[in-house]
């Protein structure tokens, strides 16, 4: 018996299903924090937020859905744009813990909007816009990276430390293996830039990373002051 459904309707349904699958399917999150001293100590430099110089602590960069094969979804839902009114109760905490250091100086909303549009929309099956940012703030509180490093004698004082000692300090302090991303200062030295930790797809629980990003640091890296 011949189907009464026009072929274009079938095609439309299949396309919709494909979009939903791509938008909501991911395996884990990278929770990424950056050291402001390393962000600023580059040729492009930085601009402090309109609220003033951030604290000398790691700041959130993002909470990024990822696949176990190393790829990741992005910009999954153009119909769910960033709406700052949905996070009005979080904004003061975000300005402290998720500051933008990009130029020109800003209040952070453009940075947060970019993170939601590119990454947050790909985890909407688990976290709505408020929960996405709230989860990241909760993870920041749970992971005191600077204290873990200081406990191991690793201070943001412009000295050089072995990459293995930095990884070991973070694992000792958190229970999980980090990925360390470096950048290069104005003198060409490799420096501690970002620390990646992995989180299950609820956005709540730390896990061992199924896969690490590509990249390389020197065996000895600088931890600049801020």
Q: Which of 149, 157, 138 is nearest to 222 (CA)?
A: 157
**Alpha-carbon span 64 to 156, nearest angstrom:** 26
**133 membership: H or E segment, kind and range:** helix 129-142
Neighbours of 173 (CB within 10 A): 19
| Residues that are catalytic | 61, 115, 119
Distance CA 165, CA 48 (A): 30
Compute the distance between CA of residue 166 and CA of residue 155 in angstroms, rounded to an integer: 10
What is the C-alpha to C-alpha distance for residues 15 and 3, in angstroms, rounded to an integer? 19
Q: How many CB atoms are closer than 10 A to CB 44? A: 9
Answer yes or no: are the C-beta atoms of 196 and 178 closer than 8 Å. Answer: yes
């Amino acid at each position: 018996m011949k189907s009464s459904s026009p072929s274009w309707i079938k095609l439309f349904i299949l396309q919709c299903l494909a979009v939903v699958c791509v938008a909501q399917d991911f395996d884990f999150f990278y929770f990424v924090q950056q050291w402001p001293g390393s962000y600023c100590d580059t040729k492009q430099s930085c601009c402090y937020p309109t609220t003033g110089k951030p604290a000398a602590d790691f700041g959130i960069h993002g909470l990024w859905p990822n696949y176990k094969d190393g790829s990741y979804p992005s910009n999954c839902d153009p119909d769910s744009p960033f709406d700052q009114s949905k996070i009005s109760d979080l904004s003061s905490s975000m300005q402290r813990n998720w500051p933008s250091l990009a130029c020109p100086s800003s209040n952070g909303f453009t940075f947060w909007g970019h993170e939601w549009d590119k990454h947050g929309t790909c985890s909407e099956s688990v976290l709505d816009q408020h929960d996405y940012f709230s989860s990241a703030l909760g993870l920041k509180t749970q992971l005191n990276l600077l204290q873990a490093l200081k406990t191991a004698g690793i201070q943001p004082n412009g000295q050089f430390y072995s990459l293995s000692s930095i990884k070991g300090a973070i694992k000792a302090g958190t229970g999980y293996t980090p990925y360390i991303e470096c950048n290069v200062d104005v003198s060409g030295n490799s420096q501690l830039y970002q620390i990646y930790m992995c989180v299950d797809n609820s956005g709540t629980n730390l896990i061992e990373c199924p896969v690490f990003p590509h990249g390389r640091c020197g065996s000895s890296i600088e931890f600049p002051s801020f």
